[in-house]
């Protein structure tokens, strides 16, 4: 059966995201999401007393929440091409032939080492959601960083969020963000909210994992 222009759809129609504004992801069902990047914590190297304190603080943090949050770990193959490009530029400027040879050997060593070892980088995120009461729906552990496809389809996916309502919901969302940041800081984990460009790069990488590994991201319009 041939696909015609009439029944074919663009990829944009399948995305649950309507807009990214002021560091906030606006979904098609008008729910909002803020994404925080979190630092790692080497729990195994802590003393027993420190581990107990971290666990206690983390329990208190979870028990203090009256809304859901999502912890998301992104694993991605290490892309060293930008770094190697810098070293190649240094090699071109070398006037000493011996240093030029050593630089070239260093480039080959790093490239081969990363390819053989399959080094993977891990980035940690915390997703803080806010749903307007009129679009409230049952949430569970299966909710992901992508949001709910069914929710956006159920509501037609074309609801308009007024500027006044957006400001109101944004303030409530950032109150939740402050609560999460304060709770995680007590456990020794530092967090920072992603801005518009960082959010676009994150979601582009999630929907285009192959391009993300190559280091290819869309150009952000100023």
pLDDT confidence of residue 15: 79
pLDDT confidence of residue 152: 40
pLDDT confidence of residue 148: 44
pLDDT digits (tens, 9 = 90+) for 53-65: 999 999 999 999 9
pLDDT confidence of residue 221: 42
pLDDT confidence of residue 52: 94
pLDDT confidence of residue 154: 44
pLDDT confidence of residue 102: 92
Distance CA 72, CA 120 (A): 16
Distance CA 141, CA 154 (A): 20
pLDDT confidence of residue 178: 95
pLDDT confidence of residue 213: 55
Tell me the mean pLDDT per 10 residues along the chain, length 222.
Answer: 52 78 90 93 91 94 93 83 88 89 91 79 92 56 46 48 85 94 93 93 81 48 40
Q: Of 148, 158, 178, 126, which is closest to residue 19 (Cα–Cα)?
A: 158
Q: Of 204, 213, 209, which is closest to residue 120 (Cα–Cα)?
A: 213
Domain ranges (residues) in the chain: 14-76+125-213, 79-118
Sign of CA dihedral 193, 198, 202, 207: positive
pLDDT confidence of residue 10: 59
Strand locations in 28-160, DSSP E?
32-38, 70-77, 120-130
3-class secondary-structure state, position 181: helix
pLDDT digits (tens, 9 = 90+) for 155-182: 444 556 778 888 899 999 999 999 999 9
**Residues counted in the chain:** 222
User: Token pair for residue 136?
Assistant: 């409230």
pLDDT confidence of residue 180: 95
């Amino acid at each position: 059966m041939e696909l015609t222009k009439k029944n074919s759809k663009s990829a944009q129609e399948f995305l649950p995201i309507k807009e990214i504004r002021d560091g906030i992801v606006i979904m098609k069902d008008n729910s909002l999401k803020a994404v925080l990047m979190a630092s790692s914590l080497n729990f195994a190297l802590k003393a027993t007393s420190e581990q107990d304190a971290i666990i206690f603080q983390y329990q208190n943090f979870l028990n203090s929440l009256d809304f859901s949050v999502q912890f998301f770990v992104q694993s991605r193959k290490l892309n060293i091409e930008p770094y190697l490009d810098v070293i190649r530029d240094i090699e071109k400027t070398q006037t000493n032939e011996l240093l030029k040879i050593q630089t070239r050997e260093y480039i080959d060593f790093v490239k081969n080492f990363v390819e053989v070892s399959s080094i993977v980088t891990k980035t940690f995120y915390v997703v803080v959601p806010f749903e307007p009461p009129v679009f409230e729906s049952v949430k569970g552990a299966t909710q992901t960083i992508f949001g709910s496809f069914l929710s956006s389809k159920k509501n037609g996916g074309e609801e308009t969020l007024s500027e006044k309502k957006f400001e109101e919901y944004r303030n409530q969302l950032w109150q939740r963000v402050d609560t999460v940041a304060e709770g995680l800081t007590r456990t020794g984990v530092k967090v920072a909210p992603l801005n518009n460009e960082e959010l676009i790069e994150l979601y582009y990488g999630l929907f285009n994992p192959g391009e993300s590994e190559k280091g290819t991201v869309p150009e952000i319009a100023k």
